[in-house]
Amino acid sequence: MQTKATPPKVVLLDLRKRQAKETNYETGKVLCSMCTKPHIVAKKAHELFFESNLGDPRLFQETAQLEREVIAQLGNLLHQKSATGFIVSGGTEANMLALLTARNASNISSPEVVLPDSAHFSLQKACNLLNLKPVIASLDESYIVKPLEVEKLVNKNTIAIVGTAGTSELGTIDPIHKLSEIAVQHKVHLHVDAAFGGLIIPFLKTTYPFDFQLQGVSSMTVDPHKMGMSVIPGGGILFRNSEMLQYIKTETPYISAKSQYTFVGTRSGASIASVWAVFKTLGKAGFTEIVEQCVKNTGLLVKELKKYSLSLLCQPTLNIVSFRSNKNTNRLSETLWRKGWFVSYIPRYDCIRIIIMPHVKKKHVLKFIEVVKEIEML
């Protein structure tokens, strides 16, 4: 740390210069992110509740009330009005809390979790933390987990099964209804990681059963800071009922509220106000409109890629498109980066992944196709 103080004006001028060089969603060139430019009300709500800390909900009761309302709205959306939960730091914390609940509810010395091969890496991270053995179930040719294989992998040590509703790599939806049947039959916790899909799937024209209306679903991750257009950090964890909370309870001996259920202690109240504001502003109607636009632009990208014979890995379920170059996909990805188009390259599928978030407009899709054509000499 430098010894002397610096005038705030000088500090902010320096920061503004750096910010001007920083990546910006509005260029439409960020095609690799599950986050997007937050909704304008999210930003304003954040500014209003800037100082609020849900590490102490007795001290910040208005914010605590906003959280209860947000969780009720998510519960309503995901078909379990009495669901309980929290706005947390992100999908990693949400997924970890789900596995922690399952682990602590069981009394198994060598606990295992059945994960689809496509499960998010945060679940491996959580298994490492929690000393759980991840057991990997393979995918079918549509890149969704094989329920028969999941069932085979369930044994007396299994504390949870995970299914993904909107995988991070390809946007596929596992057969959650079949996983639910397995969970019910074997009396095992089914966690649905809908960090990305949870605020998309309910607004699609096609119906996918993926939430608490399936009896076997015990917990769900759904992140407002992804398609919920809220600010970072804004993850979401929902549990089917409040009895499950006992397994993640921590006593908080010097805080006015006597216990805590999240992993994080001091917790941004501003994030919660942001989620509340976006949900109120958009409602189901607003979300449906945004999702429809993303799906439409996804369709446009697919059509264009097919026109130039660039092969798709699979027909998109959500607003994620994965394709391969006719030559060298990794090289195409690196060339796109150099030209300022930020795409993901996924080694294990040797494909480029594009996420059509709300900041990616029709004009950006068309421009992107032009750039790809130029690089690929199509």
Which of 183/231 has CB closer to its own copies? 231
Per CB under 8 A, the list member of 117, 344, 361, 373 interacting with its own copies is 344
Distance CA 170, CA 85 (A): 27
Which of 13/148 has CB closer to its own copies? 13
Q: Which of residues 233-292 bind its own copies (CB under 8 A)?
A: 233, 235, 250-256, 263-270, 273, 276-277, 279-287
Q: Which of residues 129-148 bind its own copies (CB under 8 A)?
A: 129-131
Cβ neighbours around 110 below 10 Å, total: 10
Q: Which of residues 155-184 bind its own copies (CB under 8 A)?
A: 168-169
When asked if residue 82 is in the footprint of its own copies (CB under 8 A), the reply is: no
7 is written with which tokens?
């005038």
| Binding region for its own copies (CB under 8 A) out of 6-14, 143-151, 179-187, 369-377 | 6-14
Q: How far is the CB of 29 from its own copies (least distance, A)?
A: 10
Q: Which of residues 41-70 bind its own copies (CB under 8 A)?
A: 41, 43-53, 55-56, 59-63, 65-66
Distance CA 94, CA 372 (A): 37
| Residues paired with 296 in a beta bridge | none
| Binding region for its own copies (CB under 8 A) out of 126-134, 149-157, 180-188, 293-301 | 126-134
Q: How far is the CB of 189 from its own copies (least distance, A)?
A: 17
Spatial contact of 70 and 281, defined as CB atoms under 8 Å apart: no
Which of 99/179 has CB closer to its own copies? 99
| Binding region for its own copies (CB under 8 A) out of 24-32, 156-164, 205-213, 361-369 | 24-32
Per CB under 8 A, the list member of 82, 110, 121, 185 interacting with its own copies is 121
Return the amino acid letter for 298. Answer: T
Query: Based on C-alpha coordinates, what's the Rg of the chain?
Result: 22
Q: x/- binding map, residues 288-327, to its own copies, per CB under 8 A?
A: ----------------------------------------
Per CB under 8 A, the list member of 27, 28, 83, 89 interacting with its own copies is 89
Which of 106/252 has CB closer to its own copies? 252
Which of 139/182 has CB closer to its own copies? 139
Per CB under 8 A, the list member of 71, 83, 86, 92 interacting with its own copies is 92
Q: How far is the CB of 187 from its own copies (least distance, A)?
A: 24
| Binding region for its own copies (CB under 8 A) out of 83-91, 158-166, 174-182, 293-301 | 83-91
When asked if residue 339 is in the footprint of its own copies (CB under 8 A), the reply is: no
When asked if residue 32 is in the footprint of its own copies (CB under 8 A), the reply is: yes
Q: Which of residues 193-212 bind its own copies (CB under 8 A)?
A: none
When asked if residue 225 is in the footprint of its own copies (CB under 8 A), the reply is: yes
3-class secondary structure for the chain? CCCCCCCHHHHHHHHHHHHHHCCCHHHCCECCCCCCCCCHHHHHHHHHCCCCECCCCCCCHHHHHHHHHHHHHHHHHCCCCCCEEEEECCHHHHHHHHHHHHHHHCCCCCCEEEEECCCCHHHHHHHHHHCCEEEEECECCCCCECHHHHHHHCCCCEEEEEEEECCCCCCCECCHHHHHHHHHHHCCEEEEECCCHHHCHHHCCCCCCCCCCCCCEEEEECCCCCCCCCCCCCEEEEECCHHHHHHHCEECCCCCCCEECCCCCCCEHHHHHHHHHHHHHHHHHHHHHHHHHHHHHHHHHHHHHHHCCCEECCCCCCCEEEEECCCCHHHHHHHHHHCCCECEEEHHHCEEEEECCCCCCHHHHHHHHHHHHHHHCC
Which of 256/315 has CB closer to its own copies? 256
| Binding region for its own copies (CB under 8 A) out of 139-147, 157-165, 309-317, 342-350 | 342-350
Enumerate residues 6+ apart whose C-beta is below 8 A from 18. Answer: none
